[in-house]
Structure formats: C-alpha cells, structure tokens
C-alpha cells in the first residue's frame, strides 16, 4: 500500500493546502448510509477527514449551544498563548449573571477561576459561564464574538458566523454540520487535554450537582464527547465523537425532535461508520515517501512527504488502494522545509477518495552560480523538448 507513484506535472500546478473527499457510494459494494431523522447531519473520519455520510452538510442553521464548542476553543487558544491561565479569575458581571437559558448558577460579583467556568460551559452548558469567559477574555461579549469568527475563519469554517458566546438565537448567528465537524476535529487535535473534559458526566458548583446532557456518554463507553444544543427554533442538536480500534469518528446531527432522538440518530451514524469503514495510515509525519527532482539547488533531489500523519478511510471489505503523487515541475531552489510541492491522490475502484498535500521535508538552499547556469541551460532544452 505504500508503493507510491511519483508523477511530474505542468508548470502551473498548485497543490491544495487541504482536501477531503466525500466517498462515492454509487460505485462501492458497501452498505448505504442509514436514514437519519435530522434537518442536517454529517459523519466524518477524524484522522482522514473523509466524509462518510451527510445531508445538508453546508446548509446554515442555528447552532444553539453547540456554539459553546467555539467559546471553549477560543479560551483554549488564549490559554495556550499564555495570556491567561486556568487559575485566572473572572468577575461575574450583571450581564453574565442575568443571561437567560441554561445556567451554572454563578453568584453576581464573585470571582470564579476560568477552569471552573470552563467545566461549567462544557458539562452544564452554562450561559452565564459562557458570557463570563467572553468578558474576561475580550472585555465584552461582542468583542469575543469577533474572536470566535476569526478562529472560525482560520479553521476554514466557511459557512459560520457567531454573534454571541452562548448560542442564544440571533439571525446572524449560524453554522453548518460540516463546520461543526471541522471545529470538533480541531478541538481534539489541537487541545487534547481540554477535550478530555467533554467526557466528564457531572460537575458540582455552588452546592449544585448537574449532569452532562450528552446521553451517549452514559450509553456507549466508546463515546468521549462532545456537546449538545437546544432551542425551540434550532431543535435538538448533538456533536458526538467515539473511538473504536484506534478509529475515531465524528457525528453531527442538527434539528432532531427530542433529547433522546439526537442521541439515537448520532449513535446510528457512529455504528454505521465503525461497521462499514476502516482507517488506514498512509505515512507518518515527516516520513520520506519519495524524492523529487529539484533545480538550481545545492542538491538535485528533494525529500518529500506529509506535514502531518496521513490517513485514508476505506470500506471494511477493501484492502487495496492506489496512490499517485503529482509534484509541480520544475521545482526551483531555494525551497524551505514545509513548502507545499504537490499532492497525493488516493483512488479506490478508480475513484479519487482523498487528496493530501505533499510538502518538502528538507530545506535546500540555492546552488552555486555554476550550478544555476548549468541547470538553466538544461531547463531551456527540457522545455523545448
């Protein structure tokens, strides 16, 4: 499976920074996706990014409290930057204290550590805690929403826009199933320690015990998150993730009819995915998968590979895939390590199921004046031929 084919292509090739492909079920002898009673849904493999099932995946809808996944993501970014620490306290303002909806039951005027507020958002879905975090991080909830949109843009959440930290209804506050899956993947990959909080089933604060609303945490031991949401206009929503045999799947269901329905529909998607597909590793991060010709450099061969571990998801019944690497030509030094230089296409049954960016694994400086002169002549005649 790791016998890669290297192909040189034209002068104007440009490799995509990231690409995933919906599997084409029409040409594959596998079970069709289940019927899912939700306005929109998606099933995505965490490692490969491939979409295994979906409906209305890019249709903007109201996210309700799924919004709080981005609230915590922004907080995690600031904690990672060192601008705040988990022990940093937030003053509970009247605005936070009076915020309607689900609550952590914070007391007005108290100082609460961010680590407690974080748990209050993740487990209790506290709107008061969400606003308190927003005000501590950005000064105002409106300014925090700008940070949320900035991070959404960085993650490629193309059809999302946030106006608050809670998910309370607003015409300009929306997201999609696809974007929520994208955010879930980023949370798990970038902040794994914080992500472990999403599997916690209960939290005590102010002498009040509250339970996690994600019913799958109690029903399926392979599920370790993530977040529920509900308003009368959004319906019942859930982003769930589970790991079985080193394969992680993410299921998003939006607009179901009840608390139990969102759990059942997400469980149906997860069971389908684990039963029908498997994830295979193509290569590890920085593993040399081939060499490409490079011109006018101190070396004439460039080691290429992937910037991250590379995976592909295929049907359980299949074990053989075809891969081909296309590298832009000519590659001209200098080239820095990490520079995108091509793309790998993964095919199953002659259908492209995934495209992965290929990068330079080493830095090659510009060669001597003589080397550049000789290579210029060779390239001239190569172009003519």
Determine which one of 65, 130, 194, 354 is catalytic.
65
CA atoms within 13 A on the CB side of 29: 3
Catalytic residue among 48, 93, 125, 130: 125
Confirm whether 125 is a catalytic residue.
yes
In the set 68, 227, 278, 328, the catalytic residue is 68
Establish whether 68 is a catalytic residue. Answer: yes
Q: Tell me, what DSSP letter sits at residue 298? A: S
Q: Is the Cα torsion angle 292, 295, 300, 306 positive or negative in sign?
A: negative
What is d(CA 370, CA 374) in angstroms, rounded to the nearest whole number?
6
DSSP-based three-state secondary structure for 300: coil
Long-range contacts made by residues 90-94, C-beta under 8 angstroms, separation at least 24? 90/114, 90/117, 90/132, 90/133, 90/135, 90/136, 91/132, 91/135, 91/136, 92/128, 92/132, 93/131, 93/132, 93/135
> Which is nearest to 313 in space by CA: 240, 248, 357, 381?
248
Query: Is residue 160 flagged as an active site residue?
Result: no
**Residue 252 near residue 39 (C-beta atoms within 8 A):** no
Give me the active site residues, please. Answer: 65, 68, 125
């Amino acid at each position: 499976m790791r016998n890669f084919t290297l192909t040189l292509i034209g002068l104007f090739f440009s490799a995509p920074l990231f690409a995933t492909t919906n599997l084409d079920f029409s040409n594959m002898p596998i079970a069709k996706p289940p019927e899912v009673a939700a306005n929109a849904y998606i099933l995505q493999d965490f490692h490969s990014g491939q979409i295994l099932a979906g409906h209305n995946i890019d249709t903007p809808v109201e996210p309700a409290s799924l919004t709080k996944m981005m609230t915590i993501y922004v907080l995690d970014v600031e904690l990672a930057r060192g601008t705040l620490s988990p022990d940093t306290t937030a003053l509970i303002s009247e605005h936070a204290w009076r915020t309607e909806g689900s609550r952590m039951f914070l007391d007005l005027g108290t100082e609460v550590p961010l680590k407690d507020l974080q748990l209050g958002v993740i487990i209790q879905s506290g709107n008061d805690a969400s606003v308190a975090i927003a005000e501590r991080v950005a000064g105002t909830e409106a300014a925090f929403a700008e940070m949320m949109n900035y991070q959404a843009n960085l993650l490629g959440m193309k059809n999302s826009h946030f106006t608050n930290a809670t998910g309370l209804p607003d015409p300009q506050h929306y997201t999609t199933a696809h974007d929520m899956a994208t955010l879930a993947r980023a949370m798990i990959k970038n902040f794994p320690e914080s992500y472990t909080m999403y599997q916690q089933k209960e939290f005590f604060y102010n002498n009040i015990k509250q339970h996690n609303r994600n019913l799958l945490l109690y029903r399926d031991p392979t599920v370790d998150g993530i977040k529920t949401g509900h308003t009368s206009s959004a319906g019942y929503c859930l982003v769930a993730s589970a790991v079985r045999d080193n394969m992680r799947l993410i299921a998003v269901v939006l607009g179901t009819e009840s608390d139990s329905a969102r759990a059942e529909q997400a469980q149906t998607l997860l069971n389908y995915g684990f039963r029908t597909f498997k994830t295979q590793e193509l290569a590890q991060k920085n593993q040399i998968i081939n060499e490409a010709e490079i011109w006018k450099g101190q070396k004439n061969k460039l080691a290429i590979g992937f910037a991250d571990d590379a995976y592909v998801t295929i049907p359980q019944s299949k074990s053989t895939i075809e891969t081909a690497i296309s590298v832009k030509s000519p590659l001209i030094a200098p080239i820095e390590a990490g520079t995108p230089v091509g793309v790998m296409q993964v095919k199953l049954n002659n259908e492209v199921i995934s495209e992965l960016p290929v990068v330079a694994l080493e830095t090659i400086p510009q060669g001597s004046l003589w080397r550049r002169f000789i290579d210029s002549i060779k390239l001239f005649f190569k172009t003519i031929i």
